A and B are shown apart, each in its own frame.
Chain A
Amino acid sequence: MELIVSLAIGVLAGSGVWLLLRPRTFQVIMGLSLLSYAVNLFIFSTGGLRTGAAPVLEHGVPGNLAQHADPLPQALVLTAIVISFATTALFLVVLLASRGLTGTDHVDGRERDG
């Protein structure tokens, strides 16, 4: 379980960083999205990973706090998702404005010479 999650985070973050360093704005925004997925999974996993645990209560066992996952990372990841979604949407608008004003989708607003 830990291996799968960490591999998933690693692959997402790696592809995100690679795309982020590309010269086209669309690639940058995809990279940012992938990177934010990686970060969200990472935050989520700081609450601890368990397999085969009961969703809320074990049958016949009185509930106690140790059975539940830590709820705080879940609250944090929700906030992080909302914020990164909003800022990505804003970035998309700026990207389109830049495309319209400069006529190119290069991140520097002009094609490299030669």
Chain B
Amino acid sequence: MDHLTIAPIILPLLAGALMVLAGERRRRLQIVLGLVSTLGLLGLAITLLLQVDGVAPGAEAVVRVYRLGNWPAQFGIVLALDRLSALMLLLTAVLGLAALTFSLARWHHAGVHFHPLFQFQLLGLNGAFLTGDLFNLFVFFEVLLAASYGLVLHGSGTARVRTGLHYIAVNLVASLLFLIGASMIYGLAGTLNMADLAARIPALAAEDRGLLEAGAAILGVAFLIKAGMWPLGFWLPTTYAAASAPAAAILSILSKVGVYAVLRLWLLLFGEGAGASAGFGGGWLVAGGLLTIGFGSIAVLATQNMARLAGASVLVSSGTLLAAVGAGQVAVSGGALFYLASSVLALAALFLLIELVERGRGVGADVLAVTREAFGEGEEEELEDEEVGVAIPATIATLGLSFFTCALLLAGLPPLSGFLAKFAMLAPLFAPGEGGVPATSWALLAALLLSGMATIVAMTRAGIDAFWAAPDDAVLRVGVVEIAPVMVLLALCIGLTVGAGPAMRYMEATAATLHAPAGYVRGILSAAPGTRGGSP
């Protein structure tokens, strides 16, 4: 078997464990371990993506299967790597590297155990994207949530503990719903392997179908709570706004885990091959997605605080994805995946950027002051000399330009990738075909345009406040390690714009595989007899 598939899980696990052993005192060692592990993950993700991209869509080898313990897929737990998993792995690694680099300037010593928690967060994310087993997905969800509880609370302070309490309570309930849904599905279908489930669902008896759909709906609620769909997402903006900047940046992919699970399971279990249950819940996804866009747009306009603005933008992006996925068309899903990549990168950059901008205005500074108070001023002072970094000339200009780029990306204005993504989602909905354009397409068009307008209005207002207001006396000091990750994330978005052709081709191949899961199912189930050792 090919052990490269499991490496993205093993690497952060080992790094995190070693960091715990090394202890808080040897922070330099922890930093080195963290950077090595995260860079390694980036390398692995790129390698895996290139390997997966090598095969033609629809072929047997479209999914790479790793059987833990070499049990046949029906009995054991499998890891499955396909285009979607590889894409998510790459996004996780990029965000992880950016957030970790950013945190090295100051945030990582605002509390204890930042580095191990960060590695376990990456472990949980990678595991959730790789696993092909429903219960294993639950376990990895718990790993990533447990780590995110620690990261959300990182830096402590009243605001974080208060929102952290809500965040943990909401997610514990979501986990219980996940368990109910998964066990109902197991009770009916007798398997937890996602591919095997997809193969068994069409053959289910008619009287069991109601129970199966109820189980799937409960499971869906658990995922949608994580994705932040209205009315399940009220916890999201406050939590994201209160979290420290590097934690918020990595959280911006956390909400996409819910979207990923919906995309994966809904298309696999209730795709066209699902017999009587095909397309179950699609209307709910579209309606929920549209309502989320609406709520997110109002929240974007209503907020005064930049961090909450970014949190509300996460809602808009989740809603857009859910509505586009719910439309259930291959080409729209391709566009949605492009939007996912672009919006995750832009949101992470925005979260990091906001912290830098707010620092100059002394608003975020009070949070940092509380942190310093809580964890002793001595440590901060002692590290001050090496951590300050150079004051970049024209710092404000750089920050302003980055903010402007973020606004363009999130609002979906030309010429950047946000616009291309929205166009790629909308164009197939209005393609000339039989029977005219359905009302939901018009609704989605209106929602996307209005949410884009709301975003641009809100971000312009925030930008004027932040950059054009009378400058403070205090010189805004921003380290190179802090601005570099923001620039890299935005440069990647620009890269997505320039290289939109190959990127879109990849996304469309991904969407084609997702909408025709027969190859995926066959690939996993046919890998049954164990090949002992050696290469595949």
Contacts and interface: CB of A to CB of B under 8 A. Distances in A.
Interface of A: 20, 25, 28, 32, 35-36, 39, 42-43, 46, 72-73, 76, 79-80, 83-84, 86-88, 90-91, 94-95, 97-98, 101-102, 107-109
A35 B175 CA distance: 11
B188 to A, nearest CB: 9
6 contacts: A36-B176, A72-B192, A87-B175, A95-B165, A97-B153, A109-B165
Contacts of B161: 94, 97-98, 101-102, 109
B146 interface: yes
Contact of B168 (A36, A94, A102): A94
Return the 5 tightest CB-CB contacts between A and B, nearest first. A46-B187, A109-B162, A43-B183, A101-B158, A46-B183
Nearest to B75: A72
B469 to A, nearest CB: 31
Interface in B169-225: 169, 172-173, 175-176, 179-180, 182-184, 186-187, 192
A39 B180 contact: yes
Contacts of B175: 83-84, 87
B423 interface: no
Contacts, number: 83
Given A83-B142, A87-B142, A94-B153, A32 B169 contact: yes
A53 to B, nearest CB: 18
B372 to A, nearest CB: 16
Given A42-B180, A79-B135, A86 B158 contact: no
Nearest to A29: B169
Interface of B: 135, 139, 142, 145-146, 149, 153, 156-158, 161-162, 164-166, 168-169, 172-173, 175-176, 179-180, 182-184, 186-187, 192
Contacts of A98: 161-162, 165
Contacts of B145: 87
A39 B402 CA distance: 47
Contacts of B192: 72
Contact of A94 (B142, B158, B165, B187): B165
Contact of A73 (B169, B173, B186): B186
Contacts of B172: 32, 84, 87-88, 91
A39 B162 contact: no
Contacts of A109: 158, 161-162, 165
A43 B153 CA distance: 31
Contacts of B139: 79, 83
A44 to B, nearest CB: 9
A20 B168 CA distance: 13
Nearest to B152: A94
B176 A72 contact: no
Contacts of B164: 94
B162 A102 contact: yes
A94 to B, nearest CB: 5
A108 to B, nearest CB: 7
A83 B140 CA distance: 11
